Amino acid sequence: MSSNPNVGRSGIVLESRASYDQSDSGQNRWIEVLVDCPEAEAQKRLYTYRLPAQLQVQPGDILSVPFGAQVLGAIAIRICDAPPPDLNPAKIRDVEDVVSAGFFPPTYWQLLNQVAQYYYTQLIQVIRVALPPGLLGRSQRRLRLAQGEGESGGQAGSAHYLSPAACQILELLKAQPSGDYSFVYLQRQVKGAYRSIRELLRLKLVESYLEPPRTQRPKLQKAVTLVVDVFPLDLTQRQREILEVLRRRGGDLLLTELLQICNASSSTIKTLEQKGCVVIQEREMLRTSAEPLLAGDQPKALTPAQSEALEAIASLSGFAKVLLHGVTGSGKTEVYLQAIAPILERGQSALVLVPEIGLTPQLTDRFRARFGNKVCVYHSALSDGERYDTWRQMLAGAAQVVIGTRSAIFAPLPRLGLIVLDEEHDSSFKQDQPAPTYHARTVATWRAELENCPLVLGSATPSLETWLNITSPELTASTQNSDAMNRVSPTQNALTHYLSLPERIQSRPLPPVEVVDMRQELQQGNRSIFSRSLQEGLQQLQDQGKQGILFIHRRGHSTFVSCRSCGYVIECPHCDVSLSYHHTHEEAAELLRCHYCNFVRSHPQSCPECGSPYLKFFGSGTQRVAQELAQQFPQLRYIRFDSDTTRTKGAHRTLLTRFTNGEADLLIGTQMLTKGLDISQVTLVGVVAADGLLHLPDYRASERAFQTLTQVAGRAGRGNDPGQVIIQTYSPEHAVIQAVRRHQYQSFIETELEQREALNYPPYGRLILLRLSSTDAAEVQETAEMLAAGLASNAPQGDSSSDTSSTNPMYEVLGPAPASILRVANRYRWQIMLKFAPDSLPELPDFNELRLLCPSSVSLTIDVDPLNLM
Ligand code: ADP
Ligand code: ZN
Ligand code: ZN
The tens digit of pLDDT for each residue in 23-55 reads: 344 457 899 988 877 676 667 778 999 998 878
H helix intervals, 159-285? 164-175, 183-189, 193-202, 237-248, 255-262, 266-274
- Comparing CA positions, the residue from 311, 258, 303, 294 lying closest to residue 503 is 303
Q: Stretch 845-851: mean pLDDT, rounded?
A: 81
pLDDT at residue 413, rounded to an integer: 84
One-letter identity of residue 68: G
For residue 826, report the distance from its CA to the centre of ligand 3, in Å: 8
Could you identify the atom of ligand 1 that is nearest to the CA of residue 330?
A: 3
Q: Which of 253-267, 327-341, 518-532 has the highest mean pLDDT?
A: 327-341
Q: How far is the CA of 824 from the centre of ligand 3 (A)?
A: 6
Residue type, 232: P
Q: Ligand 2 mean position to 605 CA, how many Å?
A: 11
Select from 459, 505, 715 the residue to mutate for testing ligand 1; criterion: most ligand atoms less than 8 Å from CB.
Answer: 505
Residue 67: other Cβ atoms inside 10 A:
19
Closest CA to ligand 1's atom 2: 332
Q: What is the pLDDT of residue 467?
A: 94
Region of poorest pLDDT, from 19-23, 288-292, 322-326, 600-604: 19-23
- Residue 410's pLDDT is 92
Ligand that lies nearest to the alpha carbon of residue 612, given by its number in the listed order: 2
Measured from the Cα of 501, ligand 1's closest atom is: 3
Q: Which DSSP helix (H) or strand (E) runs through 275? A: none
How many other CB atoms are there within 10 angstroms of residue 840's CB atom? Answer: 16
Q: Which of 103-112, 342-351, 799-808 has the lowest mean pLDDT?
A: 799-808
**Cα dihedral 733, 739, 742, 747 sign:** positive
Which of 456, 579, 390, 435 is CA-nearest to residue 121? 435
pLDDT score recorded for residue 215? 43
Ligand 1 atom, smallest distance to 326 CA: 3
Q: What is the DSSP letter of 722?
A: P
Tell me how far apart the alpha carbons of residues 593 and 554 are, in angstroms, rounded to a whole number: 13
Which of the ligands is closest to the CA of residue 596? 3
Bin 825: left if φ > 0, else alpha if -120 < ψ < 50, else beta: left
Give the residue, by CA position, lying nearest to ligand 1 atom 12: 331
Give the C-alpha separation, 807 to 77, whole Å: 40
Task: Please enumerate in sequence order all residues whose Cβ is within 8 A of that of 384, keeping only pairs 6 or more positions apart, or say none.
Answer: 134
* Atom of ligand 1 lying closest to residue 680 CA: 14
Q: Is the pLDDT of residue 290 over 50?
A: no
Residue 133 confidence class, pLDDT cut points 50, 70, 90: low
pLDDT of residue 804: 46
- Residue ID of nearest Cα to ligand 1 atom 10: 329
Ligand nearest to the CA of 572: 3
Please give the model's pTM, rounded to 2 decimal places: 0.75
Percentage of the chain beyond pLDDT 70 is: 81
Structural contact between residues 411 and 688, judged by C-beta atoms closer than 8 angstroms = no
Per-residue confidence (pLDDT) for residue 14, from 0 to 100: 26
* Model confidence band, residue 283 (pLDDT cutoffs 50, 70, 90): low
Give the pLDDT confidence score for residue 440 in this predicted structure. 97
Question: Is pLDDT of 231 > 90?
Answer: no
Nearest ligand to the CA of 823 is 3
Region 519-539: mean pLDDT is 90
Question: In this model, does residue 249 exceed pLDDT 80?
Answer: no
- pLDDT at residue number 196: 84
Per-residue confidence (pLDDT) for residue 773, from 0 to 100: 92
Task: Return mean pLDDT, the chain.
Answer: 80
Does the structure show a pLDDT above 70 at 463?
A: yes
Q: Determine phi and psi for 254, rounding to 5 degrees.
A: -65, 145
**Residue 53: partners with Cβ closer than 8 Å, 6 or more residues away:** 19, 22, 27
Comparing 278-282, 567-571, 818-822, 839-843, the range with the smallest average pLDDT is: 839-843
Among 442-446, 632-636, 701-705, 749-753, the range of highest mean pLDDT: 442-446
3-class SS string, 94-124: ECCEEEECCCCCCCHHHHHHHHHHHCCCCHH
Q: Using the atom order of ligand 1, give the atom closest to the CA of residue 714.
A: 4
Q: Helix 622-632 crosses helix 532-544 at what angle (to 10 degrees)?
A: 70
Count of positions (residues) in the chain: 870
Least confident of 18-32, 36-50, 426-440, 457-471: 18-32
3-class DSSP assignment, residue 200: helix
Distance CA(629)–CA(688), nearest Å, equals 12
Residue 79 identity: I
Starting at the earlier edge strand, list the strands of the sheet with 580-583. 600-602, 590-593, 580-583, 558-563, 615-620
Phi, psi torsion values for 97, nearest 5 degrees: -165, 165
857 vs 814: CA distance, rounded Å:
23
Q: Assess whether the previous peptide bond of 434 is cis (omega < 30° from 0).
A: yes
Identify the top-confidence range among 37-41, 88-92, 583-587, 731-735: 731-735
Q: From atom 23 of ligand 1, which residue's Cα is the shortest distance away? A: 302
What does the angle CA 756 – CA 759 – CA 765 come to, to the nearest 5 degrees?
Answer: 70
725 — pLDDT class (breaks 50, 70, 90): very high
User: What mean pLDDT do residues 753-781 have?
Assistant: 90
pLDDT bin (cut points 50, 70, 90) of residue 13 is very low
Is residue 482's pLDDT more than 50?
Answer: no
Distance 828 CA to ligand 2 centre (A): 27
Among 132-141, 164-173, 304-313, the minimum mean pLDDT is found in: 132-141
Tell me which of 294, 297, 298, 300 to substitute to probe ligand 1's pocket, judged by most ligand atoms within 8 Å of the beta carbon: 300
Most confident by average pLDDT, 139-143, 289-293, 513-517, 792-796: 513-517
Distance 627 CA to ligand 3 centre (A): 25
* Residue 549: pLDDT band with limits 50, 70, 90: very high
Q: What's the CA-to-centroid distance between 719 and ligand 1, angstroms?
A: 10
Q: What is the mean pLDDT of residues 630-650?
A: 81
Ranges 124-138, 278-292, 788-802, 827-841, most confident:
827-841
As a whole-number percent, the residues of the chain with pLDDT over 90 amount to 27
Please report the pLDDT score of residue 797 as a whole number: 52
More confident residue, 573 or 465: 465
Q: Using the atom order of ligand 1, give the atom closest to the CA of residue 332.
A: 3
Q: Which residue has the higher pLDDT, 556 or 639?
A: 639
Q: What is the mean pLDDT of residues 383-400?
A: 73
Residue 373 has pLDDT above 50, yes or no: yes
d(CA 859, CA 829): 10
pLDDT category, 155, cuts 50, 70, 90? very low
Instruction: Determine the residue type at 676.
Output: G
Residue 638 neighbours by CB under 8 Å, 6+ apart: 550, 626, 629, 630, 664, 665, 666, 667, 668
pLDDT in the model for residue 86 = 81
Average pLDDT over residues 553-581: 76
pLDDT tens sequence across 495-506: 889 999 999 888
Mean pLDDT score, 176-180 = 79
Q: What lines the ligand 1 site, CB under 6 Å?
A: 300-303, 306, 326, 328-334, 505, 678, 718
**Looking at ligand 1, which atom is closest to the CA of residue 303?**
23
The pLDDT assigned to 609 comes to 86
Once rounded to an integer, what is the mean pLDDT over residues 726-742? 92
Q: Is the pLDDT of residue 156 over 50?
A: no
Q: Residue 677 and residue 47: Cα distance in Å, rounded?
A: 46
Angle at 142 between CA 137 and CA 144, to 5 degrees: 170
pLDDT at 1 over 80: no
3-state DSSP assignment of residue 325: strand
Mean pLDDT of 781-800: 77
Identify which has the larger pLDDT, 213 or 123.
Answer: 123
Ligand 1: centre distance to CA 449 (Å): 29
pLDDT surpassing 80 at residue 818: yes
CA distances from 657 to 120, 362, 512, 666, 721 (A): 43, 9, 27, 13, 20
Q: Going by CA atoms, what residue is nearest to atom 13 of ligand 1?
A: 331
Q: Treating both helix axes as pointing N-terminal to C-terminal, what angle do 651-660 and 360-371 enclose, rounded to 10 degrees?
A: 80
Residue 555, pLDDT > 70, answer no
Per-residue pLDDT tens over the stretch 659-712: 888 889 999 888 877 776 888 889 999 999 888 788 776 788 899 999 999 999
